[in-house]
Amino acid sequence: MGSDVVSRGYLATIVVPSGDQWKKMKRIMVDELFSHARHQWLHTKRVEEADNLLRYVHNQCGHEGGGGVVNLRVSAQHYCGNVIRKLVFNTRYFGNGKENGGPGVEEEDHVKAIFTILAYLYSFCISDYFPLLRGLDLDGHEKVMEEATRVLAKYHDPIIDERIQQWREGKKEEPEDLLDVLVSLKDDNGDSLLSADEIKAQIIDIMLAGVDNPSNALEWALAEMLNQPEILQKAIDELDSVVGKQRLVQESDLPKLNYIKACAREAFRLHPVAPFNVPHMSMADTTVANYFIPKGSHVFLSRLGLGRNPKVWDEPNKFKPERHLNGAKEVVLTDPKLRLLSFSRGRRGCIGMVLGTSMTIMLFARLLQGFSWSIPPNEGGRIDLSEGKGNLFMAKPLVAVAKPRLPPHVYPC
């Protein structure tokens, strides 16, 4: 969840960290932002956004709760954006939002910019290999990225600058969110540990790392489950058995929801968010398995090649959550054997893996517990599972009919 995101040269507004800077930022990420204690500290904010997700979808079911058509891509991306904004800025909205609890124009603009940056982050750029070409923008990437980062700066920078000023003037004394944590850090001399530019870069890094994986996994998994109703029913049965219908699923329930986690893990395996991981560079000659990798090589891992490898996975192109159970006491979303790539691995693995896992499973669990899902009549009884052109997202955003399945008093007001 760290320096991979700022590695591309055309992120013009972000300074790529030196070795010492990278070590400093990684230490801050591990010790200050994504430690177990910090995760617990932010629990209430995550629950608030899980409640808001349920409220948002419930409001689309009509006043009588008879059911409504829901765009799952918008719902999932909105939830992920809400969680990250809440943890970082202690606010859900940059504007006023919508009356039904959905994203306003500002939030839609913000999430669109994030996904634009992520799309180009994973793309091939000729100037990455021939730095002298930077500035010529032969691929047209720099113009797009500059505009997207400008959008993020438009929403982030005023909040960050104001917060820094509040701490300088003593108007704030106790951290309330991750931005406060970054601003309040001090060095050995009692001075601010991070500059304003470092804080702004780190905030963008966190934003980019928090929205794509969970939302993409939910959309694909639910599409697959709608086409295989027996899988959807097993997930619902697990929720009813572990949680029941008289209260909402909470993070404390997640360790017991192995089938839900197996569904999410299967989505990561079969439908990764991108074909490859962000490229890494070999710092020395090395050998991995039977491959010799010379120093200076750019190394890519194929998410598709790992997750759909027929030598590893039985029926690799079929959505089968049961394959991840195997008698395991607790299913996790990562794979130490690197048979699939969910949150990366090694030194550059996702520092926010615990947060990413809780966001992903709560997204799955709340939507599956709160609503009965069905295929819209105009879809012909089956969801089209075609992949998009030039990416691995669903070609068409998943739209499904949602009906409340819990007693009215259980839903957040």
Binding-site residues, in ranges, read: 350
Residues near 118 by Cβ (< 8 Å), separated by ≥ 6? 208, 211, 212, 274
Residue 394 Rama label (left phi>0; alpha psi -120 to 50; beta):
beta
Burial pattern 372-408, b for ≥16 Cβ within 10 A else e, equals ebebeeeeeeebebeeeeebbbbeeebbbbbebbbee
Q: How does strand 286-288 pair with strand 280-281? A: unpaired
Residues near 234 by Cβ (< 8 Å), separated by ≥ 6? 259, 321
At residue 189, what are phi and psi to the nearest 5 degrees? -95, 5
Residue positions in the annotated binding site for heme?
A: 350
Distances (CA, A) of 54 to 73, 110, 229, 405: 15, 21, 22, 12
Distances (CA, A) of 136 to 11, 117, 118, 236: 15, 19, 21, 54
